């Protein structure tokens, strides 16, 4: 049964803001954390009620993770969520992804594909289309930069080896690594993924910029072509 109490009508030790001050944010439930960000409810519904509706509306029914899959328009379809609250919620989702990425970058080690997967996991596993990123590395295997080479449909991305090499030249890269996601959540490389990797390898050999690996990101899973021996590196 939906709680119709406003935040102010709740006992002080049950209000999310006061609970956070007293015990810290780790004590709050998902809906309470979201309620603190939303701040205010609407007539007949508290901010906690609104937070619960948002979590229930997530397409994948994954609680907080479902927010990544809600558009601004879908959020505003919830009674009590206007444009300002919708933008706040989307920005919090984006902020969480970037925090995760910054933390993972400190541990980035080109020789260990799991660190690359960790670095891109939160950025890419929520995407509903395939995205292909090219990592540019210097002679010490340090990351010079990255470029999104293509963005496709749920069925695949269109990638040109020429575009990859142009990006590599711009960064004066010595090596490159490909990273792309599978929106299905299953990182098992397709026949097309393998064929693309082979084409890119051949093009890279011609200009002496070796392709070190191709990593496919799924939902909390990944596959490294190099580690699995799917291509000769």
pTM recorded for the entire structure: 0.63
97 vs 71, residue with greater confidence: 71
Residue 8 pLDDT > 90, yes or no? no
Domain residue limits at 204: 128-228
Out of 82, 100, 118, a domain closes at 100
Distance CA 180, CA 140 (A): 23
Residue 59 pLDDT > 60, yes or no? no
Domains held by the chain: number: 2
Burial of 70 (0-12, 13-18, 19+ CB in 10 A): buried
Q: Is residue 185 part of a domain?
A: yes
Do 135 and 95 belong to one domain? no
Cβ atoms within 10 Å, residue 55: 19
Q: Is residue 62 part of a domain?
A: yes
Do 60 and 139 belong to one domain? no
Cβ atoms within 10 Å, residue 23: 11
Residue 3 pLDDT > 50, yes or no? no
Q: With cut-offs at 50, 70 and 90, classify the pLDDT of residue 103.
A: low
Give me the pLDDT at residue 98, please.
77
Do 63 and 139 belong to one domain? no
Do 141 and 69 belong to one domain? no
Residue 2 pLDDT > 80, yes or no? no
Give me the pLDDT at residue 156, please.
62
Do 137 and 201 belong to one domain? yes
Q: Is residue 194 part of a domain?
A: yes
């Amino acid at each position: 049964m939906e709680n119709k109490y406003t935040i102010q009508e709740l006992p002080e030790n049950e209000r999310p803001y006061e609970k956070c001050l007293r015990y810290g944010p780790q004590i709050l439930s998902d809906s309470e954390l979201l309620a603190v960000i939303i701040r205010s409810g609407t007539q007949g519904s508290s901010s906690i009620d609104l937070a619960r509706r948002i979590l229930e509306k997530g397409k994948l029914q994954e609680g907080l993770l479902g927010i990544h899959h809600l558009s601004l328009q879908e959020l505003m379809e919830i009674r009590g969520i206007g444009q300002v609250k919708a933008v706040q919620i989307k920005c919090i989702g984006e902020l969480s992804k970037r925090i995760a990425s910054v933390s993972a970058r400190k541990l980035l080690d080109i020789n260990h594909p799991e660190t690359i997967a960790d670095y891109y996991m939160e950025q890419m596993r929520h995407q509903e289309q395939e995205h292909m990123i090219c990592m540019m590395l210097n002679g010490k295997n340090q990351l010079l930069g990255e470029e999104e080479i293509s963005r496709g449909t749920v069925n695949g991305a269109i990638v040109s080896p020429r575009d990859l090499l142009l990006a590599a030249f711009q960064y004066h890269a010595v090596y490159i690594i490909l990273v792309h996601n599978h929106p299905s959540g299953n990182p098992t490389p397709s026949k097309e993924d393998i064929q693309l990797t082979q084409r890119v390898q051949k093009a890279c050999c011609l200009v002496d910029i070796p392709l070190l690996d191709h990593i496919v990101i799924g939902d909390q899973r990944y596959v490294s072509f190099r580690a699995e021996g799917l291509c000769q590196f």
